């Protein structure tokens, strides 16, 4: 099984930082499974991995979110259920309130680093 997530700051019906099961990648296009629904994405927008995610992804605040929306400068995405959580401080591990699984936080990864 192959996993994929956005590697570009684009709006294309995928959550930033969330990993999705790759259904098909052919030529310039790819299709990922979003809650049981196939979603087509430009392949160049995706990062792919042969191993499932095992750490929280730290995501910088998207540029298009108004400052009036309270979400902080970054948030975390659970590797299991894709829930988004506002982060305070710099915890090394966190329990997901939705799926109840604890994972390390991947502070060493620079996801969408150009925004940080």
pTM given for the model: 0.81
Average of per-residue pLDDT across 18-31:
96
The domain containing residue 37 runs over which residues?
3-49
User: Tokens 């991995």 correspond to what residue?
Assistant: 49
Quick one: which of 60, 48, 51, 62 has its CA closest to 12?
62
* Number of separate domains in the chain: 2
- Answer for the pair 91, 58: CB distance below 8 angstroms, yes or no: no
C-alpha dihedral, 90 to 58 to 94 to 103, nearest 10°? -130
45 and 62, same domain (yes or no): no
Same domain as 95, residue 64 = yes
pLDDT at 116: 38
Residues 87 and 59 in one domain: yes
**Are residues 68 and 44 part of one domain?**
no
List % helix, strand, coil for the chain (3-state, nearest 5).
Answer: 5, 40, 55
Instruction: Tell me the two tokens of residue 36.
Output: 């049981």
Radius of gyration of the CA atoms of the chain, in A: 14
Q: Which of 6-15, 30-39, 67-76 has the lowest mean pLDDT?
A: 67-76
pLDDT in tens, 94-116: 999 999 999 999 999 888 764 43
């Amino acid at each position: 099984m192959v996993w994929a997530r956005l590697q570009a700051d684009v709006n294309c019906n995928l959550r930033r930082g969330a990993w999705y099961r790759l259904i098909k990648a052919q030529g310039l296009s790819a299709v990922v499974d979003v809650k049981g629904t196939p979603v087509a994405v430009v392949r160049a927008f995706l990062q792919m991995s042969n191993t499932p995610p095992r750490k929280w992804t730290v995501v910088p605040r998207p540029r298009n979110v108004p400052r009036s929306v309270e979400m902080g400068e970054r948030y975390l995405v659970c590797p299991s259920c894709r829930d988004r959580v506002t982060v305070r401080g710099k915890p090394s591990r966190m329990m997901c309130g939705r799926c109840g699984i604890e994972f390390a936080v991947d502070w060493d990864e620079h996801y969408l680093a150009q925004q940080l």
